Chain A
Amino acid sequence: MFVEFGVIVLRRSGKILIVVTMFVVCITVICNTAWGSGYEVRRNMDYTDIMLGSISIVTVLYIAEALGVILTGLYMLKLAGAIASIARLLNSETSNSYDNHPLSILRLKKIKELREKIVVLFEERNSLVEMYDKQIKELKVQLHISQKRQTHIEEIIYSIRDSVIVVDEFDKLLMANEPAGKLLGFDYKKSYFKPIKEIISSERKEFLKFLSHTKKSRGQAARKELETIQDGKLKTYDCIVSCIYDNNKQVCGVVAVLHDITREKEISNMKNDFISHVSHELKTPLASITAYSEMLADDEANDEETRKEFYAVIQNQAQRLNRLIEDILNTSRIESGLIKINKEPLSMAILIEEQLKMIKSYAEEKEITIIGQTPIVCDQIYVDRDMISQVIVNLLSNAVKYTKPGGTVTIESKTDEAASKIQVLITDTGVGIPDDEIEHVFDKYYRVETNKKQARGTGLGLNLVKQIVEKIHNGRVFVNSRVGIGSTFGFELPLASKNIEITV
């Protein structure tokens, strides 16, 4: 800019100098001519007047010329100073000499040198501008990529169903997703860069403490199970907190992931309960078998009738033990897909009759009446005999188990030929199931909390019923219950198609 201005000034000042010199020369010539041509006039004039007149004109002209030269000189000096300062700005090698010889800068050679430098400078500047333009473009591209990446990371974090929260070294929120906001009680989109102590509700103090502890310990990751009340229910979270390190391996933040393990925890507790119950359930019939056999061996059965009774108990308890083992094994086999299925055409009424005989002695022990209403009409199904027998006996034994002495258990079957289905209903006058627990009764290991004290069990029987009916036979299980009144458990199976040969 300054260089360009200097060049313009130099050009213009050159023109002014020429104009001023031309003006002075013209005035001198005109005056001399006027003096010569006016001789006749001057002859008529007084000599003194002539002398005075001619002296004064010449003097004025010379003074004007001298003034012009002085002004031009001063202007030249100023110009030279300005150019010299430009040269100094350009860091000229000879810039120091300008102070000693101010006008030396106006030498054509010097001006040419200066011009060359300015040209070089311009070229350098242009290349710099080009380079910076390129760098700006690259930075813009990188910024765009970076923004896209950040958006992408945010989208990933937002799409995670676990709660994710990222804080910086000053414990300010850098990023969080909706589940984290919901769990920790803040608006995740409006809380960025706010201190987490201010945004996270005081009920989650344990989490804040764990976060702070992990950051201070500078360890790579820490894990802890956190329990919290959410919507009135106890929830368990597996909380993993990892430190974020900068290039100097200093902790510059932490990221926390909270995974809801409430269901896993419940299943784990149910499994523990199951192991506890199953050992008891297995040992109880075994205890009867052992005790009665020992009694027989010790001749404690005094008469034939007692002996027969002892044999019957041993047989019943062995069957009970077998049913239990079958439940456990079949559950495992169905889950692993290793079970062998032998489907054959069978009559539902016949299957029910067989299982009623099995359960009769157990019902009699508990003084419970069993009513069977199973007409052998259009009840042919194409099923695995052992499995459906297990379904019926599990539902019947459950009904007996949860019915008080003097109660009734009814089993009936209904055929819907139009829909090509058969429905079996087992109704008891037992304790019933509370509404909030009914949806879980077919879950594995699940036992109705309020009925745990009523009778023992493994929590496998109903789950097995569901698996056999729905997974293996494309049927459906259902339950209706009222606390204190009783329950109706049922299942529905497709009728055998007519081209299958029926055997009963």
Chain B
Amino acid sequence: MEQKKVLIVDDEIHIVHVVAIKLRNNGYEVISANNGAEAYELACDIKPDIIVTDFQMPVMTGMELVEKLRENEQTKNIPVIMLTARSFAVTKEQREQLHISDCLSKPFSPRELLVNIEDILYQNELVAEAK
């Protein structure tokens, strides 16, 4: 089975580190970035299966990153999970409009994050098979 690629974006290296260990331990390939701009370039290059991004970051925020991804034909369908310290920061309308698959508020559980990633990727596979 092909290893799924996950792009983790957070300016907090501890968060990137812990999520990377959790996902690698569960068979995922992990790529990381420290801000939105760096993540966008990586997303265009490696086309990850899913992106886990922080909301508030220097240089380019998580929301700006998603907006840019959705504008690009190559990256517009990549599912995104948003990690945010402020759960109210992302509105329902924004989630729907930018096709944000899930929002997890910090502090979050790496276990829960893994389950959500698996769910989203499984649903995407089902949709792809149906097509």
Contacts and interface: CB of A to CB of B under 8 A. Distances in A.
Contacts of B13: 365
B85 A290 contact: no
B108 A290 contact: yes
A365 B11 CA distance: 12
Interface stretch (A77-85, A108-116, A292-300, A343-351): A292-300
B58 A300 contact: no
Interface residues of B, number: 23
Interface residues of A, number: 26
Contacts of A280: 56, 85-86
The secondary structure that dominates the A interface is helix
Given A317-B14, A365-B13, A291 B86 contact: no
A453 B106 contact: no
A294 B109 contact: yes
Interface in B99-131: 106-111
Given A284-B106, A287-B108, A295-B22, A455 B14 contact: no
B41 interface: no
B21 interface: yes
B18 interface: yes
A456 B111 contact: no
A286 interface: yes
Nearest to A299: B25
B107 A300 contact: no
Interface in A94-119: none
B67 interface: no
B12 interface: yes
Nearest to A290: B107
The listed residue with most A CB atoms (<10 A of its CB), out of B22, B58, B107, B109, is B107
B110 A295 contact: yes
B19 interface: yes
B42 interface: no
A288 B59 contact: no
A302 B106 CA distance: 25
A420 interface: no
A287 B85 contact: yes
A279 interface: yes
B65 interface: no
A288 B85 contact: no
A346 B47 CA distance: 57
A289 interface: yes
A186 to B, nearest CB: 46
B14 A283 contact: no
A276 interface: yes
Given A294-B109, A453-B59, A454-B58, 12 more contacts: A284-B15, A286-B106, A287-B107, A288-B18, A291-B107, A291-B110, A292-B18, A294-B111, A300-B21, A302-B25, A455-B58, A456-B58
